[in-house]
Structure 1
């Protein structure tokens, strides 16, 4: 199955006080960790970003199409607009241990019951920035942007989505600030 991935790297990083994609964990940028984990699972990896990230070809990077700072919904909208495969796997730039079976597990539901979004469910918590989406759902984002409802789960719930259970909580751990980065390094 043709699936591309989009790393969501266009956030403000306000708690980190630096571009999270470029922050180093064990000598490598966070985005490098994510890229290395997701790339074997998909055909091609794209980056939704507000600034060009050195070390990655510029032709796989695209800016968020929505200039307002509305959160991950903007990167998802841009990803669904720019990527040409029918299915797009999203992942945030700040989760260096994302599961190595993420795409296989989420895509196992494709074609069953007409679901167009698959989202990991980890210990009762949905992880929507790790969603696998059919590109046809992009048009359903427009009314949310027009009405300034940028809540990711509000949009997801307007679609036919399925929760896929994962048991690996560590694979979905994200790093939001310097303290979490230090704790993550100490545990590694």
Structure 2
């Protein structure tokens, strides 16, 4: 039970960024490109979750639409878990499209922790969880669907509902899970 796939969550509006966040430039490349590079290096099946077609320009990974009746990244998680189930995967790693410094060992560390605990595992650093960086056993689809059916929309809440465990990374000068939400973040992190 260790066939794993990746879903890159890219369906947000990016309003604080002025829209089209995955396509914004950071260090001379699209913001999503470092995430795509990381996933490509892992050599696992992967998909990009978007709210509408064309939200991310063509690339090597296919795209699926977020659940339309759900708001936020939970919509991408639900679609991605359904995709993972239909693809006969056992585990699904979710990643945000706006985190250019993700650690190389993210997949292996979360995978091992999740398999050992038989629960989702979520990355943590600097005293906080990073709910978009989590690995989900595909059989948690029912738990996440039930959670969403209650009207709740938080990825953190879905992790709690599925009794996720934390996997901590050491603190550093730049948080490896730092995400870019505003033009000011781009300026601050480009240095």
Structure 2 length normalisation: TM-score?
0.88
> Please, which runs of 5 or more residues in structure 1 have no aligned partner?
none
Q: CA deviation at 1:37?
A: 1.7
The residue number in structure 2 matching 1:38 is 39
Structure 2 partner of 1:143:
146
Runs of 4+ in 1 over 4 A off after TM superposition: none
The residue correspondences of 1:164-179 to structure 2 (distance < 5 A) are 164-169=167-172, 170-179=175-184
- Give structure 2 stretches of 5+ with no counterpart: none
- 1:47 aligned counterpart, secondary structure: strand
Q: The residue matched to 1:98 in structure 2 has which SS?
A: coil
Give the equivalent residue in structure 2 for 1:89.
93
- Equivalents in 1 of 2:99, 2:78: separation in Å? 20
Q: Name the count of aligned residue pairs.
A: 183
Q: Is the 8 A contact 1:105 1:164 kept in 2?
A: yes
Q: Report the Cα distance in structure 1 between the residues aligned to 2:16 and 2:105, rounded to whole angstroms.
A: 29
Q: Which residue of 2 aligns with 1:7?
A: 8
Structure 1 length-normalised TM: 0.90
Structure 2 CA distance, aligned partners of 1:162 and 1:168? 18
What corresponds to 2:134 in structure 1? 131
Corresponding position: 1:118 with 2:121: yes
Residue 168 of structure 1: how far off its partner (Å): 4.8
Match of 1:108 in 2: 112
Once superposed, what is the RMSD of the aligned Cα atoms? Answer: 1.7
